[in-house]
């Protein structure tokens, strides 16, 4: 705890992440500090406390809800004699477990390799500094250089394969756009209910679970909406606080679906106490991937948990700006379809050539 807001909610989310990765949590230890310790991340007293607790519970793994430097991770592992996994690696691990499509798997592999390569680089420069480069400069390649080269080759190969898949996606998107099909993408904080809403809208059976990151791969389905015609709906990757940058980069192709959509449905867990922070976090990621200008509609989901009736809210022009739904109870979907149809009508009016 470095004095960040919503500490309890963060703890709860981290537990959910850990469980999502299949961890069985035996103990939680909280360290309060002004700033992380450079060598061990936590103070020496805490390291001892963790070691004792780990021994008492026969823990096999230590999870840290923060990004650790390679040195911190190594030092902790050495003194605890246990594997230590930080937040970034944990998120990567969950993505690896959940990826289902070929493209999703390639994206995760790329993210993992990129994460690994930054660690190798840092370890390597650390060694160089220590020895002043002398004795490290031989005619042959060092093991680290070899590792880096092999990883580099693999990264290039993965990028090429992903680029090919991306081109296929582009072609599909263009064909849809030519056919006048409007595209709608669901975005939202992880666990907001995107998959449930996607299923409700498309009557499909995409995987929905009370686990973070249930959705990794983009699924696109075509539906018919009265007043809007044929519309493609895509369920995209869930966003989360501190989404590793390597991951955002690796998921670029998937996120492109979001960037190129005509309309984003920003699904919000209306019942979450962190609702506003989560909305801000999603907006931040959208800006990062260049989707800040895509029109969006706020969909407040889980209205049932607030005891709210599904409804729509309009602005002074009568345009629907917010929709309250319960994806689970499939309530309020007509209002949502109405909002999509309204958007579609406005769009085609604005796109139409002006006659004089």
Of the two residues 59 and 325, which places its CB atom closer to ligand GDP in the complex? Answer: 325
Of the two residues 304 and 342, which places its CB atom closer to ligand GDP in the complex? Answer: 304
- Whether the Cβ atoms of residue 192 and residue 267 lie closer than 8 Å to each other: yes
Of the two residues 53 and 308, which places its CB atom closer to ligand GDP in the complex? Answer: 308
What is the nearest approach in angstroms of ligand GDP to the Cβ of residue 190? Answer: 5
What is the nearest approach in angstroms of ligand GDP to the Cβ of residue 75? Answer: 35
Which residues sit at the interface with ligand GDP, rule CB under 6 A? Answer: 188, 190-196, 208-210, 214-215, 238, 301-302, 304-305, 326-328
φ/ψ of residue 257, rounded to 5: -55, -40
What is the nearest approach in angstroms of ligand GDP to the Cβ of residue 212? Answer: 7
φ/ψ of residue 33, rounded to 5: -145, 160
Residue among 179, 197, 201 nearest 188 (CA):
197
- Whether the Cβ atoms of residue 218 and residue 257 lie closer than 8 Å to each other: yes
Instruction: Using CB positions, name the residue nearest to ligand GDP.
Output: 193
Of the two residues 215 and 220, which places its CB atom closer to ligand GDP in the complex? Answer: 215
Task: Give the burial class of 332: count Cβ atoms within 10 A of its Cβ; 0-12 exposed, 13-18 middle, 19 or more buried.
Answer: buried
Q: What angle do CA 197, 203, 205 make, to 5 degrees?
A: 80
What is the nearest approach in angstroms of ligand GDP to the Cβ of residue 202? Answer: 13
Task: Return d(Cα 29, Cα 163) in angstroms, integer.
Answer: 43
Of the two residues 194 and 260, which places its CB atom closer to ligand GDP in the complex? Answer: 194
Task: Return d(Cα 67, Cα 63) in angstroms, integer.
Answer: 11
In this structure, what token pair is assigned to residue 103? 């493209």
What is the nearest approach in angstroms of ligand GDP to the Cβ of residue 97? Answer: 15
Of the two residues 39 and 331, which places its CB atom closer to ligand GDP in the complex? Answer: 331
Task: Return d(Cα 101, Cα 207) in angstroms, integer.
Answer: 13
Token pair 């050539």: residue:
353
What is the nearest approach in angstroms of ligand GDP to the Cβ of residue 215? Answer: 5
């Amino acid at each position: 705890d470095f004095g960040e807001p919503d500490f309890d909610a963060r703890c709860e989310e981290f537990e959910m992440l850990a469980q999502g990765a299949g961890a069985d949590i035996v103990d939680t230890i909280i360290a309060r500090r002004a700033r992380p310790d450079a060598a061990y991340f936590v103070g020496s007293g805490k390291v001892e406390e963790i070691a004792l607790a780990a021994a008492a519970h026969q823990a096999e793994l230590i999870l840290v809800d923060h990004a650790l430097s390679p040195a911190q991770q190594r030092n902790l592992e050495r003194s605890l004699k246990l594997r230590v996994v930080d937040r970034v690696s944990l998120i990567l691990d969950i993505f690896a477990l959940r990826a289902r499509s070929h493209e999703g798997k390639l994206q995760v592999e790329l993210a993992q390799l990129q994460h690994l390569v930054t660690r190798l680089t840092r370890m390597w420069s650390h060694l160089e500094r220590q020895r002043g480069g002398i004795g490290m400069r031989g005619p042959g390649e060092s093991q680290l250089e070899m590792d880096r080269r092999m990883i580099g080759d693999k990264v290039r190969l993965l990028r090429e394969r992903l680029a090919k898949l991306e081109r296929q996606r582009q072609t599909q998107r263009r064909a849809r756009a030519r056919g006048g099909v409007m595209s709608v993408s669901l975005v939202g904080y992880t666990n907001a209910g995107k998959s449930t809403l996607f299923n409700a809208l498309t009557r499909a059976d995409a995987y929905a679970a009370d686990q973070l990151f249930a959705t990794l791969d983009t699924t696109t389905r075509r539906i018919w909406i009265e007043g809007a015609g044929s519309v493609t709906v895509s369920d995209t990757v869930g966003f989360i606080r501190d989404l590793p940058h390597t991951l955002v980069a690796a998921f670029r192709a998937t996120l492109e679906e979001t960037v190129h959509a005509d309309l984003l449905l920003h699904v919000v867990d209306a019942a979450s106490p962190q609702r506003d922070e989560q909305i801000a976090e999603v907006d931040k990621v959208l800006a990062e991937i260049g989707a800040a200008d895509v029109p969006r509609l706020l969909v407040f989901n889980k209205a049932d948990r607030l005891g709210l009736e599904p409804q729509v809210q309009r602005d002074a022009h009568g345009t629907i700006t917010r929709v309250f739904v319960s994806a689970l109870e499939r309530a309020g979907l007509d209002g949502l379809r109405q909002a999509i149809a309204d958007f579609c009508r406005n769009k085609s009016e604005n796109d139409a050539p002006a006659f004089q």
